[in-house]
Chain A
Amino acid sequence: MAGNQEFDADRAQDFRVVGTRPARPDGMDKVTGKARFGADMNMPGQLIGKILRSPHPHARIKSIDASEALAMPGVKAVVTAEDFNADAKDRDVLTNIMARDKALYEGHAVAAVAATSRIKAQQALKRIKVNYEILPHVTDVDAAMQPDAPILHDDMFTQGLDEKPAKPSNINARHEFGHGDVEKGFAQADIVIERDFKTAATHQGYIEPHACVANVGADGMSELWVCTQGHFHVRSQCASLLGMDVSRLRVTASEIGGGFGGKTTVFIEPVALALSRKAGRPVKLVMTREEVFKASGPTASSSMRVKIGVKKDGTITAGEASLNYQGGAFPGAPADFGAMSAFACYDLENVKAVAFDVVTNRPKGAAYRAPGAPMSVFAVESVVDELAKEIGMDPFDLRLKNAARDGSKSSYGPKFGKIGLVACLEAAKAHPHYAAPLGPNQGRGVASGFWFNFGGETCSNLNVNEDGTITLAVGTPDIGGSRASMCIMVAEELEVPYERVRAIVADTSALGFNDTTEGSRVTFSSGMALIKAARKAKEEMCKRAAMMWDIPAEAVYWAEGAAHPSGPNAGDFEPMTIEEIAGSAAKTGGPIAGHHEYNADGAGVSFGTHIVDTEVDPETGYVKILRYTVVQDAGKAIHPDYVEGQFQGGAVQGIGWALNEEYIYGEDGRLQNATFLDYRLPVASDLPMIDTVIVEVPNPGHPYGVRGVGETGIVPPLAALANSVSAAAGVRLTDLPMSPPKVLKAIGATKLAAE
């Protein structure tokens, strides 16, 4: 966690470009429709791929007969599980992208077709005969944990127990975090509150469906154009799933219409490659929205119990959480992250969080912004809210009294370094929003949240062009404005105008391995790599100037985009600009470049605090959001527009999760609402302007103090909304989403209880 001390406080005093808001480099293409997204690529002679999906939530695949489909005119290839490398490294992904013995959820891929048109491919799907033996299914997390539940995997024996269980179950793993003695802590408390909570599974809801075009050449040299958050990861996954050398596959990331964690793995990409390999032609595969809902990677649903004890003076004496997360048909529900994040905002003597990672007959979950944290934090922050009311303490004061601070032992183990939670809480408490009056049926809720943030493997290049402009090659797809931030940081470091720098996302053959754009890592790690690359280029340019001046390189320094002699003793030369140095590079040793590759360490954790006002219609349960304020620590906002955009986007996704978004399953184990009509994302008119406050507590691990900001913003809203709606409705809501029927029922129930 503790990276190198990279932050330079003096340097941060006089940033010139960092902190400004230049126009986004991808904006013009995006608003004029020229930007090329996943489905905008076409290759000569391409076929269209379509995937046959299981209509059953759980079924044994007894046989697949594709002979009739293959005999249809225009049908060029059919693939099934047999067409993939059975020894692939990641067995779960192998089985998820194409069912092997069993279909494990409705929508699980069973076979795929490539044909000369979409219609032909669709017709061919209908002619593939799959013989299923239907098995009992389970989609609810609590039901899946029952001893008599239908078992998905015969070889799943719960990990993390003292002894290996005798029987397989749907519980993949138990995780535990914490320290101290919670029983002792509860005994010291004046008030203990224990509550049960539930959250529904939600989808990242990116507007662009998964799309790719694959081309496997006759010599095995392959290319893949794909909409993804991590093309290097796509390359390694696909190479392994198809049994090919990594060097034979070149992956190019398209522009991306949203990802939010959902595009960090593969679904259709290996299928397109397998079809192309078999058909000998390029194959384009694009998911429909229904496929996105049923067969990409939504987030976990949860069932949780949280217990917290507090003294009358507001000291929290103990906190305990038990979390059950289901993450679909394969291991990997972010239960461990949920347990680690649950109490991260508090400095506690006694804390314990236990989490179970459970499988059910639902699509395999993928990451979704701060995976696992929003749910557990919803439960904890709801109980903290109730405790504050119970002891008559301001909810911010209660949080401040127990807040994690610099050096606190975190609830998940390590000690925190420099953190900004207290700064966020204080800024939120002082914000005019918190003092604004409320009307009837209105309520205010506050909550905090946390996310770890990540560094990871990074490799970036910087080239000084012959006219002194600069091109950056970055290996992390730009999903949140990172190209602009990269240009800003390099312009800052080289002291050149922002407009002179251009960043592109390079394909996998141009750079060394880069981890995916995830974990709020890009501005931190690709940014730091480019700052270091710029420093190397600066050093080289000073050398070149020294060479031309014929003085020692040490006697040259860089300022204002030019090399300067360090003083009259060094020589009486006019500064030599980057343009001049670049223009004469041929005479001084050739092209000038900088690069940096490392496994980035020291990503600072980020905290945030949200305030929301809602009004509840007591006759319909409708919730209107009146006002919303996000306060979050960014370390340093390189491009404040984008930082605010991340805060707002996280808040809005959290609002959707809290109020109306949910995966609804029928008794038949099928998803009932695989459309944007019935999967209710918030629409623009549902929302007020989301106000933002950027707190800047520099991260010591980054030269400019950057912390990732992409994920923390989705952590507090579930709890903030629940606290606000509970206050407005006069009844505690513990089951998300708080859709109108649930709110109305809760209001009705309390009315009856009061009578």
Chain B
Amino acid sequence: MRYEAPGTIEEAATLLARESGIARVLAGGTDLLVQLRAGMIEPDLVVDVKRIPAMMDIVEENGGFRIGAGVSCARMGEHAALVAAWPGVVEGAELIGSTQVQGRATMTGNLCNCGPAADSVPGLVAAKAVATVVGPEGRREILVKDIPAGPGKSNLKKGEIVESIFLPKRPERSGDAYLRFIPRTEMDIAVVGVGVSLTLDADGTITEAGVGLGAVAPTVLDVEDAAKAIIGSKLDEAALEKLAAAASAACNPINDKRGTIEFRVDVAGVLAKRAAKIAYKRAGGK
């Protein structure tokens, strides 16, 4: 196994593209190293991206935030302006593992690992976040929700690296929230995860919304019906019930050691309501 730590993303992309065997990007390594040690993968090349300065910062851009793919979840939590604008996205990132894990783990790694239960992804999907990807054919932009293809499988092409994730400028009266269900209080994997982002008008009516659902399907879902269920409402009981029903209806889960199908379907609705209420409050709604 070769280990490389290039200084630019172009070099990194070239190394990956040229490798004929199995190649992997290394960010925080909190998924990759675990998989290596468990013997799940045996890569021929590992390209560490943490020496690429352009990928290691959070930059304010046109009123939005560009989060470098190498930025740890802990650093996101320390960025006051980001936390103020996107508390839901940050709380997803800050639920990952423990304090120690968050010091290494990145949101992009969470995304590119393509686990259905990845905690930071539903919030990004709800936020309609966009990833910038660099590959042998140059730079392109892709919606975060389009990166995962299935458990452990991504839509990135050979040699492609995510450079950053962009969270757009927030209109006034916007808020977001992420909630997950685990049977314990920490160090567990989401049985259901829900991210809700919304924007209100002056009288508290929801004008825009996004709902991301995790752990209930092969990939994180962008549930447009759930968003539609609350747009135009002031998040009254009827809207909440419609939201819950839409969230539950979107689920396509499996029965496994972590939860049953019926449980996931039920709890997706419950958490969608609870997350929406928090997001609504954060947006200034009453």
| B is bound to A | yes
- Select one of B187, B257, B258, B263 contacting A683, CB under 8 A: B187
Interface residues of A in 656-699 (CB under 8 A from B): 659-660, 664, 672-673, 677-678, 680, 682-683, 685-686
A619-B270, A622-B181, A680-B183 known; A741-B260 Cβ under 8 A: yes
Residue among B39, B183, B259 with most chain A CB within 10 A: B183
- The listed residue (A673, A680, A744) touching B184 by CB distance below 8 A is A680
* With contact pairs A659-B183, A683-B186, A685-B185 given, residues A678 and B257 touching in the complex (Cβ less than 8 Å): yes
The interface residues of chain B lying within 8 Å CB-to-CB of A685 are 184-186
Residues of A near B185 (CB, < 8 A) are: 683, 685-686
Interface of B (DSSP majority class): loop
Whole-angstrom CA separation of A664 from B257 in the bound complex: 7
Contact code string A122-139 (vs B, CB < 8 Å = 1, else 0): 100000000000000000
A745 within 8 A of B: yes
Cβ of A739 under 8 Å from chain B:
yes
B57 interface residue per 8 A CB criterion: no
CB distance from A287 to the nearest CB of B (A): 15
Question: B201 in the interface, Cβ–Cβ < 8 Å?
Answer: no
Interface positions of A from 408 to 461, Cβ below 8 Å from B: none
Which residues of B sit under 8 angstroms from A739, Cβ to Cβ?
183
CB-based contact A678/B183 at 8 Å: no
Point out the residue from B181, B188, B189, B262 that lies within 8 Å of A745, measured CB to CB: B262
B190 to chain A, nearest CB (A): 12
Residue numbers in A under 8 Å from B186 (CB-CB)? 683, 685
Q: Are the CB atoms of B183 and A740 closer together than 8 Å?
A: yes
Known: A620-B270, A677-B188, A678-B257. A744 touches B183 (CB 8 A): no
B173-193 vs A, CB cutoff 8 Å, 1 = contact: the mask equals 000000001011111110100
Nearest neighbor of B270 in chain A, beta-carbon distance:
A619
Taking the complex as formed, is B250 at the interface, i.e. its CB lies under 8 A from any CB of chain A?
Answer: no
Min CB distance A687 to B, Å, is 9
CB closest chain-A residue, reference B261? A741
B266 interface residue (CB < 8 Å to A): yes
Residues of A near B39 (CB, < 8 A) are 122
Name the distance in Å between A58's Cβ and chain B's nearest Cβ: 21
Residue interface mask B181-222, A partner, CB < 8 A = 1:
101111111010000000000000000000000000000000
Cα of A620 to Cα of B266 in the assembled complex, Å: 8
Given contacts A683-B187, A740-B263, contact A620 B257 (CB under 8 A): no
**B22, chain A: closest CB distance, angstroms:** 18
Measured between beta carbons, the chain B residues less than 8 angstroms from A621 are: 263
Asked whether B267 is an interface residue with its Cβ less than 8 Å from the other chain, the reply is yes
Which of A622, A672, A744, A745 interacts with B257 by CB under 8 Å?
A: A672
* Nearest-CB residue, chain A, relative to B189: A677
Q: B266 touches which one: A683, A686, A744 (CB < 8 A)? A: A744
Q: Inside 8 A of A620's CB, which chain B residues have their CB?
A: 181, 267, 270-271
Which residues on A sit within 8 Å (CB–CB) of B260? 741, 745
A449–B260 Cα distance when bound, in Å, is 33
Contacts of B259 in A (CB 8 A): 740-741
Residue of B nearest to A618 (CB): B270
Q: How far is the CA of A685 from the CA of B187 in the complex (A)?
A: 10
Q: How many A-B residue pairs have CB under 8 A?
A: 56
B187, A744: Cβ atoms under 8 Å? no
In angstroms, Cα B257 to Cα A621, docked, is 16
1/0 contact trace for A717-755 toward B, CB 8 Å? 000000000000000000000011100110010000000
Cα distance A410–B205 when bound, in Å?
70
**Complex CA–CA separation, A683 to B98 (angstroms):** 12
- B256 and chain A: residue at smallest CB distance: A672
Residues in B neighbouring A748, C-beta threshold 8 A: 266
Which residues on B sit within 8 Å (CB–CB) of A740?
A: 181, 183, 191, 259, 263, 267
Interface residues of A in 615-635 (CB under 8 A from B): 619-622
Expressed in whole angstroms, the minimum distance between the Cβ of B74 and any Cβ of chain A is 18
Q: How far is the CA of A196 from the CA of B191 in the complex (A)?
A: 29
Inside 8 A of B258's CB, which chain A residues have their CB? 678
Q: How far is the CB of B266 from chain A (nearest CB, A)?
A: 7
Structural contact, A741 and B263, CB atoms closer than 8 A: yes
Chain A residues contacting B187 (CB-CB under 8 Å) are 677, 683
Residues of B contacting A683 in the complex (Cβ-Cβ under 8 angstroms)? 184-188
Q: A748 to B265, alpha carbons, bound, how many Å?
A: 14
Given A664-B257, A741-B260: A682 touches B267 (CB 8 Å cut-off): no
- In B231-282, the 8 Å CB interface with A consists of 256-260, 262-263, 266-267, 270-271
Chain A contacts for B257, CB-based, 8 A: 664, 672-673, 678
CA–CA, A108 and B281, complex, Å: 55
Instruction: Tell me the complex Cα distance, A622–B271, Å.
Output: 13
A659 — which chain B residues lie within 8 A by C-beta? 183
Residue of B181, B187, B256 with highest tally of chain A CB at under 10 A: B187
How far apart sit A744 and B187, CA to CA, in the bound complex (Å)?
Answer: 22
In the complex, the answer to whether A660 meets B183 with C-beta atoms within 8 Å is yes
User: Across the interface, do B263 and A686 meet the contact criterion of CB distance under 8 Å?
Assistant: no
Specify the chain B residue showing the minimal Cβ separation from A741: B263
B263–A745 contact, CB under 8 A? yes
B262 touches A686 (CB 8 A): no
| B235 CB to nearest chain A CB (Å) | 17
- Kindly list chain B residues whose C-beta atoms are within 8 Å of the C-beta of A660: 183-184
Q: Which residues of B are found within 8 Å of A744, using beta-carbon distances?
A: 263, 266-267
Q: Which of A683, A685, A741 gathers most chain B CB within 10 Å?
A: A741
CA distance A755 to B160 in the complex (A): 57
A685 to chain B, nearest CB (A): 4
Q: How far is the CA of A660 from the CA of B183 in the complex (A)?
A: 7
Expressed in whole angstroms, the minimum distance between the Cβ of A554 and any Cβ of chain B is 65
By a CB distance below 8 angstroms, the chain B residues around A680 are 183-184, 188
Chain B residue at minimal CB-CB distance from A656: B184
- CA–CA, A660 and B259, complex, Å: 12
Complex: how many Å from CA A740 to CA B260? 10
The contact of A622 among B183, B189, B266, by CB within 8 Å, is: B183
> Considering the chains assembled together, what is the distance between the CA atoms of A678 and B188 in angstroms?
8
CB of B42, distance to nearest CB on chain A (Å): 11
Chain A positions within 8 Å of B181 at CB level: 620, 622, 740
Report the minimal beta-carbon distance from A665 to chain B, rounded to whole angstroms. Answer: 10
Q: Tell me, in angstroms, the Cα distance from A429 to B267 when the chains sit together.
A: 38
Residues of A within 8 A of B266 (CB): 619, 744, 748
Q: How far is the CA of A744 from the CA of B267 in the complex (A)?
A: 10
A741, B189: Cα distance in complex, Å: 15
- CA–CA, A686 to B188, complex, Å? 12
A-chain residues with CB within 8 Å of residue B270 when the two chains form the complex: 619-620
CB distance from B228 to the nearest CB of A (A): 23
Establish whether residues B189 and A686, one from each chain, have CB atoms under 8 Å apart when the complex forms.
no
Chain A, Cβ-Cβ closest to B259: A741
| A122→B39 CA distance, assembly (Å) | 10
Q: Which residue of B lies closest to A122 (CB)?
A: B39
Min CB gap A624→B, angstroms: 9
Which A residue's beta carbon lies closest to that of B37? A288
| B-contact 0/1 string along A627-653, CB 8 Å cutoff | 000000000000000000000000000
CA distance A621 to B183 in the complex (A): 9
Within the assembled complex, what's the spacing in Å between the Cα atoms of A664 and B189? 16
Residue of A nearest to B255 (CB): A741
Q: For residue A673, which residues in chain B have a CB less than 8 angstroms away from its CB?
A: 257
Closest A residue to B273 using CB positions: A619
How far is it, in angstroms, between the C-alpha of A226 and the C-alpha of B69 when the chains are bound?
A: 45
CB distance from A462 to the nearest CB of B (A): 45
Contacts of A745 in B (CB 8 A): 260, 262-263
User: Across the interface, which residues of B come within 8 angstroms of A678, CB to CB?
Assistant: 189, 257-258
Query: Hey, what's the 0/1 contact readout for B60-91 against A, CB within 8 Å counting as 1?
Result: 00000000000000000000000000000000
| Interface pairs (11), CB distance under 8 Å | A620-B271, A680-B184, A680-B188, A683-B187, A683-B188, A685-B185, A740-B181, A740-B263, A740-B267, A741-B259, A748-B266
Q: Which 6 A-B pairs have the closest CB atoms?
A: A741-B263, A685-B185, A619-B270, A672-B257, A664-B257, A741-B260
Given known contacts A678-B257, A680-B184, A741-B263, what 14 new A-B pairs fall within 8 Å (CB)?
A620-B181, A664-B257, A672-B256, A677-B187, A677-B189, A678-B189, A678-B258, A680-B183, A685-B184, A740-B267, A744-B263, A745-B260, A745-B262, A745-B263
